[in-house]
Amino acid sequence: MKDMGLFSQLIYYFTHNGMYVLNQFNLTFLVSIYGVLFGAIVGIPIGIWISQNRKLSPIIIGIANVIQTIPSLAMLSILMLGLGLGQNTVIATVFLYSLLPIIKNTYTGMLSVDPDVLDAGKGMGMTRFQVMKTIRIPLSLSVIIAGIRNALVLGIGITVIGSFIGSGGLGDIIVRGTNATNGGAIILAGALPTALMAIITDLVLSFIEKRLMPKTSSEN
Partner 1 sequence: MRKHLRRWLAGLLLVILIIPMSGCSLPGLAGSGDNTVRIAAQNTTEQQIMAYMIQGMISHYTDLDSTIINNLGSGNVSFNALKNGNADISSIRFYGTDLTTVLNEKFERDPATVKSTVTKAFEDRYHMTYFESYGFADTYAWMVKQSYAKKHHLENVSDLKKLAPTMKVGIDQIWQNRPGDGYPAFQKDYGFSFGTVYPMQLGLLYDALASDKMDAVLGYSTDGRVGSYNLKLLKDDKDFFPPYDGSPVATDAILKKHPELKPVINRMVGKISLKTMQQLNYQVDDQLQEPQTVAKAYLKQHHYFEGGN
The neighbour count for residue 181, using CB atoms within 10 Å, is 6
9 binds partner 1, rule: CB under 8 A? yes
Q: Does 175 interact with partner 1 (rule: CB under 8 A)? A: yes
Give the list of residues 6+ apart from residue 156 with CB closer than 8 angstroms, or none: 28, 29, 32, 194, 197, 198, 201
**# binding residues, partner 1 (CB under 8 A):** 35
The alpha carbon torsion through 207, 211, 212, 217 (nearest 10 deg) reads 130
Does residue 34 touch partner 1 according to CB under 8 A? yes
Long-range Cβ contacts of 180-184 (<8 Å, 24+ apart) = 182/1, 182/2, 184/6, 184/9
The yes or no reply on residue 129 touching partner 1 (CB under 8 A) is: yes
When asked if residue 185 is in the footprint of partner 1 (CB under 8 A), the reply is: yes
Q: Report 142-171 residues binding partner 1 (CB under 8 A).
A: 163-164, 166, 168
Residue of 102, 156, 186, 197 that binds partner 1 (CB under 8 A): 186
Q: Give the span between the Cα atoms of 220 and 103, in whole angstroms.
A: 29
Binding residues (CB under 8 A) for partner 1: these are 1, 9, 12-13, 16-17, 20, 26-27, 30-31, 34, 41, 84-88, 91, 127, 129, 163-164, 166, 168, 172-173, 175-176, 179-182, 185-186
